[in-house]
Each structure stands twice: as structure tokens, then as C-alpha cells.
Structure 1
């Protein structure tokens, strides 16, 4: 076997491993959060980026073998950005044979008119896009709206809200919209961005760059992304551990008075014997076994010393 043939074979092996890992992660997220049910009509939001392409691709694969029947409808919003290649997504979706809609709405002009030059446009842009997509989901009778946010996005959002918003809040894998009229799902919630990027290269998706806001290097999200990437390089698995933390919330160990009734705390001295303290906990630190969904991730729980 020639070197080229051997390299090609190895590349196929690696791609198969990656594809299985992504499908397993998406499948687990769907099961854990009951994202897809019998008869669902799922509006898959496509931006033209690697994440939404990968999400549609994986969902179409799972659709063939899933134990429930569900429908996929791809939807893209053409925001009338200058130079946007309008033909790319329709051509791609026609080849796939998946039902699709292209919504044309000039939010670009609105954003440019409202946001001063050099300022971040992402927040307003996403709000305008979200409102339009939510309304369209109702029009076509979609029961779920699928967004392409992955594990890294969710962790980045957690830190964005903490550092810049003063709130302990991320993006849930499944969400009922505030108006109670739409359910949003994030099937890539357990997937790492690096895996998705590699998968997109293998699949050669026709990526459409976001020239409106994606090139603004001074965004707060970019700063958070670089911080987390640096942490992951110094201690691999850090992002996975942080994600695991938002699945293990202890309200009584925080300070949200709406979430936990601190005011009504009372002593309980009924004479019941206290559990003996384990010698391994004498220094106030205990290693907890990780959730089985994240084998290899160890959670260190810092306990108050007595």
C-alpha cells in the first residue's frame, strides 16, 4: 500500500471516529433533555456557519435510525448583508433534498443605523433575527426550533454573563421561550467546537462568513473564548469540567434569595446523632466522582472547614 493510500485510509478511520462521537453526543443530549418527540416538526436554523451545517447533517443522519418519526425543515434568514452569496444555501439544500425556506429581511440596515460605527452589533442583530425566526416557526407549525450552539458557546455565555452582566446564567440545552410559544433546542450542547470544526472540514460545507459582526475582534465573547482556550491548553478538559458544573447546581451554596429560602432556615436539634466525619475529609476537600456522562472529569468540591 502506498503512502498516499495509507494516509487516505487513516483519514477515513479518524473521520468515522469523529462522526460516531458527534452522533453519540447529539443523541445523548436529545435523550437527556427530551429534545425530539414523536411527530415533531423541527425548524433547523442555518446561518451558513460550520455549527449549523454540522447540526443539520447530524440530525439528518439520526433521523434515518431514530426510534421516533420527526420532520426537519431548514430555515435561513437572509439579512441583506452586502455581498451575501444568496445562492450558496439554496444550492446546497437542493442537493440534500431537505425542505427549506429562505426568509428575506433587511436587518442589516437597521443594525447599521442604530449601532454606532465600531461598536458591537451582535446583541441587536441576534435579537432581530430571533424575533423573526420565532414568528416564522409559528407560521410553518414548527414544534421545536433547533439552534447550533455547542458546549463551548454555552460555557462562554456563562462567563459573559458573570463578567459583564453580573448574572449566573448560561444557555440551556432546551428552553421554553418567554412568550411560551416556542421551544428551543440545542442538539450540539454536548459537542466541542474543535470537533465540529474538524467535521466541517471533512464534510467540506460551503461556509458563509459573517461580515456584519463575526470579524469584530474586540468583542467580549472573543476575549472570553481566548481565556477559555488558554485554560484548556494549560489544563485539558477544563471546559468540560465547567460545563459539568452547570449540570450540578447547589442553590443553598449560592446567594440567590429567590432560589433558596435563606430567611426561613431553622436549627434542628432533635437529638438525632450526627454522621461521623470521614477521615478523608479532615482537610475540608473531597474528590467527587464525575457524572457518568463525562468519564475522566473529576470534580473537586471545596467544603467549608468546621
Structure 2
């Protein structure tokens, strides 16, 4: 259980993240009236935080928009499949799983010892863009992490 000063710090961080995200959305016209925003959940803290922030902003935004949570199941061994659907369900957010075996493609194509990030990223983005096109998604929201700061990128 979090108490006192620690809880104050958490609340302060949450408010700052919401304020900065809301300002960025407004300043750069990232979300418009009637948009369907696909929030890509990886299972990491950044995508969970992004979804939480967007849910809170959705309730007080001057425009109406819908959220759809999506996970790209890349068939990596050991990924806990039940966590994300349960989380989105608890929040009342529609949830979809895109199944695309990028893992075996990357393992087959990229030589041992070489970085897989470039190819893996292109395969992931392709699957996400295709799902967005097929499901009338107008915005894609991705959570990114760098140097312990949370950054969001809307495409």
C-alpha cells in the first residue's frame, strides 16, 4: 500500500503526464471529433500508462472519440496471453488481438548475433496499419519508453 508522500508524488506525476499529453494532443491536433483511437498494448508500463491517460482525457475532452485496445501477438514464447484482455475488459475498453507470427520470421531471416529490431519493427507496424485500415481506425497511439521518461507518439 502506498502512503503519504509517496502517494502525493504518484498523483503529481499522473497529473503532469495527463496535462502534458492533453496539451500535446491539443497543440498538434492529434485527436479530432469522432476519431477511433487504437491504443497498442504491449504489456509494458508505457502502453498501460498511455491507455490510462487516454481514458481519463476522454472523459473531459472537448471532442468525442472512441478507444480500442489492441495487442499484436507475435507468437513470442512465454507471453501471458490472458493479462491484456482481462485488463481491457476491467476498464470496459474494446480489445482485439492481432495474431501475426513475426517472431519466427525474424528468427529465420536475421542471422544470429545481429539485431532484430529493424525488421521486427517494420513487421509490427505493417500488421498494426493493416488492422487500422480494416477496422476504420483513424488514429494509432503507441507508448514508448526512453531514459525512464514516458513519451507518446500518435501516428
Deviation readout 1:85-129 (Å, 9 max, x if unpaired): 111111111111110101111111000000111210111011001
The 2-side partners of 1:16 and 1:48 are apart by: 22
TM-score by length of 2: 0.91
Matching residue of 2:117: 122
Matching residue of 1:84: 79
The 2-side partners of 1:86 and 1:116 are apart by: 28
- Tell me how large the CA RMSD over aligned residues is: 1.8
| 2:129 maps to 1:134 | yes
The 2-side partners of 1:85 and 1:149 are apart by: 20
Matching residue of 2:16: 21
Matching residue of 2:91: 96
Matching residue of 1:46: 41
SS at match of 1:125: helix
The 1-side partners of 2:86 and 2:18 are apart by: 25
**Aligned positions of 1:1-306 closer than 5 A:** 8-149=3-144, 152=146, 184=155
- Contact 1:44–1:73 (8 Å) recurs in 2: yes
Equivalent pairs counted in the alignment come to: 151
Higher strand share: 2
Bigger radius of gyration among the two: 1
- Contact 2:72–2:98 (8 Å) recurs in 1: yes
Q: How far apart are residue 46 of structure 1 and its match?
A: 1.0
The 1-side partners of 2:153 and 2:140 are apart by: 12
The 1-side partners of 2:144 and 2:25 are apart by: 14
- Contact 1:76–1:103 (8 Å) recurs in 2: yes
The 2-side partners of 1:33 and 1:55 are apart by: 17
- Contact 1:33–1:173 (8 Å) recurs in 2: no
- Contact 2:142–2:153 (8 Å) recurs in 1: no
SS at match of 1:148: strand
Structure 2 unaligned residues grouped into runs of 5+: none
TM-score by length of 1: 0.47
